Amino acid sequence: MQAHYELLFKKFESFCQNIIKDISNFSESYKDYNEFYGDEQLDYKGNANMDRNLYFFKAGTKLFVEFNVDTLSLTEFEANVNEIQGSCAAVCQLPGNKVFHAGGHNPHLATGYIIDLNNHTVEILQNVRGRSVTCATYFDNGVYIFGGYHINAALANCDKFSFATRTWSSLANFPAGAVHNISALPSGASYGVSTLPCREYFILSCFSGGNLYKYDTKKDSYNILTSSVVNACFNILFRDSGKYYYLSNNLCFVSNEANLGVWVKNSKNLSETIAQYITSKPVTRNRNVYFMTSNVIVIYKFNLEIEELSRVLTY
């Protein structure tokens, strides 16, 4: 009997050792979601986005274009997408040197792609809402999109795409209290939305009225952050080391980390007027902030030292 137990013990010991070895081998090869995506830390002193350069499709083609803000040069490649692309799509860069691209105007598209800049492969996204004239924002393993425009109507719908599940979920609609100049628009519908991520909330613009909004990412709710700006269709939010900027047409409003309820208009108007919709993220390099309009492709540069706007390139 003793010999039998000793034999069983040796077999059990060998079995356990093999299990431990298999688990060890698996753990060495296993990568969780964050490792696959290389989830870098967002910079909340800067613009808290992943974008290294500016990205867009040349309208009426399948050519995907990158504007390098270091060399001020363009490169392009033919992307393996299904449709001829339009303009004003929601675009942002993702971890792993990839780009999220959804929607478009003229043609009005309800398509989405993740474009790998390393090897130019394209992943097709499912169940994309048709929209344009709003931005996309990467945050907490997802992409957020607020409002927008589709065919002939502004949208109040807001959505989040999860990379963990590859699915979309609806967020609370854009604030019903949003003020608009166009009487035909439903309450809350808005386009020309710019998004600036903070650690636990976003600052959102809209295309008219005097409000900037605060979107709570945990509560999925909106509050008015300030009512002291002048909104326009063509606008963008960005940040530099605790100083916050909001450009609206040819106006520049500034605020600071300590008092984001107060935004003050610079006494001098910008010498260059933003004249088209902006759906790119702002990219900061060497005390300049670069962004682009995407109906007519114009690359802009905002000089943080003199707080002035100029054109870099018309494409």
H helix intervals, the chain: 2-29, 33-37
pLDDT tens sequence across 81-99 = 999 999 999 999 999 999 9
Segment among 29-33, 118-122, 229-233 with least mean pLDDT: 29-33
Confidence of residue 37 (pLDDT cuts 50, 70, 90): very low
Torsion sign over Cα 84, 112, 276, 300: negative
Write the pLDDT tens digit of every residue in 228-240: 999 999 999 999 9
Of 10, 1, 17, 56, the residue nearest 277 (C-alpha): 56
Mean pLDDT of 148-169: 95
- Give me the pLDDT at residue 28, please: 37
Residue 31: predicted pLDDT: 39
Establish if 200 belongs to a structural domain.
yes
Q: Residue 198: pLDDT above 90?
A: yes
Quote the CA–CA distance of 292 and 3 in Å, as a whole number.
Answer: 80
In this prediction, residue 23 has a pLDDT band, given cuts at 50, 70 and 90, of very low
Q: What is the mean pLDDT of residues 119-127?
A: 97
- Domain assignment present for residue 10? The answer is no
Are the beta carbons of 133 and 149 closer than 8 angstroms? yes
The mean pLDDT value for 207-230 works out to 96
CA 183/CA 198 separation, integer angstroms: 32
Q: In this structure, is residue 31 part of a structural domain?
A: no
Residue 193's CATH number = 2.120.10.80
Low-confidence winner among 38-42, 219-223, 282-286, 304-308 (lowest mean pLDDT): 38-42
- Confidence band, pLDDT 50/70/90 cuts, at residue 20: very low
Report the DSSP beta bridge partners of residue 203.
196, 214
b/e burial code for range 192-219 (CB count within 10 A of at least 16 → b): bbbbbbbeebbbbbbbbbebbbbbebee
Amino acid of residue 247 = L
Flag whether 181 is in a domain.
yes
Q: How many structural domains does the chain have?
A: 1
What is the DSSP track for 127-183? SPPP-BSB-EEEETTEEEEE--EETTEE---EEEEETTTTEEEEEPPSPTT---S-T
Are 138 and 93 within 8 A, CB to CB?
yes
pLDDT of residue 66: 97
Percent of the chain with pLDDT over 90: 79
Q: Is residue 63 part of a domain?
A: yes
In the block, which residue shows the tokens 């003050």?
264
Amino acid 315: pLDDT: 87
Q: Summarize the confidence of residues 232-253 as an average pLDDT.
A: 97
Please report whether residue 19 resides in a domain: no
Does some domain include residue 6?
A: no
pLDDT at 63 over 70: yes
Asked whether the predicted pLDDT for residue 256 surpasses 90, the reply is: yes
Residue 15 located in a structural domain: no
pLDDT single digits (tens) 258-308 = 999 999 999 999 999 999 999 999 999 999 999 999 889 999 999 999 999
C-alpha dihedral (204, 200, 159, 50), degrees to nearest 10: 80
Residue span of the structural domain in which 112 resides: 40-314
In the prediction, which pLDDT does 208 show?
85
Confidence (pTM) = 0.85
Beta bridge partners of 294: 297
